[in-house]
Amino acid sequence: MKTRLKNKAEKKFDSNELENNKDEFLKTASEFASEFSDMEGDVYFSTYQKFQNSHWHYDRSLEVMAMKKVGDEWDYSKGITGAYRYRGI
């Protein structure tokens, strides 16, 4: 598989995605903590799911930011991001 280094636009795209996912993660973490406190240790399952989902997206954004190369297919073990991620930029 042919690979190349990420260009500036792709790095900026990843950075923006990370920032958006971080903001969403912090928002849902705050909601989760407030609900946990208000309900004396209980939370609605939907709140938990939102929190878990936003955490997953944030973690994936961190992983993608660490990937230095772009190729035809994703390969996490080699640090290669799939080129189709950047088709819209």
What are the tens digits of pLDDT across the range 19-38?
Answer: 999 999 999 999 999 999 99
Burial of 74 (0-12, 13-18, 19+ CB in 10 A): middle
Q: pLDDT at position 1, please?
A: 79
Cβ contact 84:5 at 8 Å: no
| For residues 2-13, average pLDDT | 97
Task: Give the residue among 20, 22, 4, 9 at the shortest CA–CA distance from 67.
Answer: 4
Mean pLDDT score of the chain: 96
Of all residues in the chain, the percent with pLDDT exceeding 90 is 97
The ranges assigned to domains in the chain are: 3-86
pTM over 0.85: yes
| For residues 33-57, average pLDDT | 96
